[in-house]
Chains A and B, each alone.
Chain A
Amino acid sequence: MNGADVPTTILRSLAGFADPAFLGIVLLSLKVTLSAVGLAGLVGFPLGAALALGRFPGRGLVIVVVNAFMGLPPVVAGLAVFLLLSRSGPFGGLGLLFTPGAMMVAQFVLVLPIIVALTRQTIEDLWIEYRDQLTSMGADRLRAIPTLLWDARFSLVTTLLAGLGRASAEVGAILIVGGNIAGFTRTMTTAIALETSKGDLPLALGLGAVLMTLTFTINGLAFSVSRLGARYAG
């Protein structure tokens, strides 16, 4: 393929967006990534806030570990989840390995530390500002958590996007635990890796373009919503 063909092939691939197999790959990617990030948010926001406000022995160590896990290599996370979910592993009975469920678990594991670590920092900074006021109104640290999370909501959107970026760009972990099975666990990133190694560059490029477009769209929407909200709420 020479350079002049590239735009054409991308366009042709985008036209193939209506192709059910292609569409299936895109939808599965979205489903896995969005549910993993959504769940990580549900768990990570309160956990991060609790870590910000909690006082217990070993807190410093926990923070260091969580921060370090932000850089957890996806293949290592994939391997760990693979061992846990494999037939002989502790959760083998669930039969999750090589299913979309396993990919969600792997991405959840990758995204959770990012959300916990960034939430912890955001909430800790906000607590410095809010502490006297909330204490004065009768809130202890536990009751302050929902107030702080809600008031930090516009910053936390960015935290969620950081997690989304990690999950949607990731290929190592879901390749290991999902197996890249056509029509079942093949996502955009695993398909790109496969098609590139097979030499089907047009398809890989088309998928890459779709992935980029989706990423820009989601980030653009999130930015506008949080910008508007922040302007409204001050």
Chain B
Amino acid sequence: MDSQIHKIHQQLVDKTITCTALVQEKLAQLEQNTHNTVNAMLNTMALDLAAKVDAKIANGETIGLLEGIPFGIKDVYMLQGTLATASSNLLKNYKSAYTATAIQNLLNAGAIPLVKENCDSFGHGSSSENTIFGAVKNAINPNLVGGGSSGGSAVNVAKDYTVFSIGGDTGGSIRQPAGYNNIYGLKPSYGRISRYGLMAYASSTDCVGPIAKSIEDIRIVLNVMSGKDIKDQTSYASAEITQAQISNSEDIKTVGYFKNFIESPAIDANIKTDFLQAIEKIKAKGIEVKALDFFESETLVSTYYTLAMAETASNLSRLDGTNYGNRIEGDALKETYSVTRSENFSEETKRRIVGGNQVLSQGFSDEIYLKGLALRDTISANFEDDFKNVDIILSPVTPNTPPKIGDSLKDPHAMYLSDAYTVGFSLGQLPTLTVPQGTATGLQITAAKQNDELVLKFANFLKDTI
């Protein structure tokens, strides 16, 4: 088992390292890094917490598995007393008044936050270039994008600056950067982890999730963050997933994949070949593989963006310089609102807010927004039917390898289409894990809603198979 968490835990218990030395080392790596992954360092808090862990160990007290483990937080989460900028000008100086439930659960378990991580502003982007902190550079090739929107989090994990990081995934924002940086990233079932304290982008698909270097670390962090929270009424109670439960995959008999994802003219030739080879290896293990029909990529992407833009237009309406954000004074209240928003939002955020207001406005809502909702229902129904016939759906994470820094900003429509393989599972609210195997940008493993355990189980199987 290649769990970083278990390894560091053992080193702390054996006193081969101190927590303070570990945290100092990681903080130094983060500060010196040239990948633009950092929005704010949390040195004081991290070192204080590390000293407490060291004192506990020195006193002979037992420490929990996550106690003293350093982690990163995408800069869209609240952590009381620290900046929460969403990588935006508007919230450049905004301080969290409270702590997100998922993050609080990690703090309660003793994990140590090191850094607020760079991302696309308000989660609006697939490359982590749409940020006031500079484009995040890919961990493997710094000329390429880090992926997005949780790009800083994925690069920090890939470079070992953090042991794990907490990303946010609305349409692929954990899975795609995990794929671009060859690590694991999980979007759990919608509602498994409370969204309280995560800045809302599109509330009906927003998910909190872990990014890490092993399935075991994903499992540990997922368990700690999961659970029903009175402050997010869409959250649900879930049972802990044990190591034993996911070690044997004998009950996975059938795997499906979407034919049109693979037959699409937009897919990179190598990603296609590698994906089909992975399928052959799975078949060779005696698992039945079924090619499934699914919606065209354009329909998936358009449905997702229609609904996500409508929701973000509504969610971001509070950012007006009066309730929140850097106010720029105008002659009157409405002028103040519009100057504040015009000057402080990025071009991509403005594009999405305007798109959202377009589809929500009278005369367009029936033709676009309501039809988008109906399409989403059809997509969800399609998934339900599929999971009557297969246990797992396997897909590439992206149609192509990461673009060069600068290219995505030139062509927003192409950037939207690059989310073709991730957005469908968001609309279905399904648990989906990126594994760094199979293709250059990994594979996605999806199971039926609330069946996150099966996803991890199949990931363990794949690790030994391909």
Q: Is the pairing of A and B real? A: no
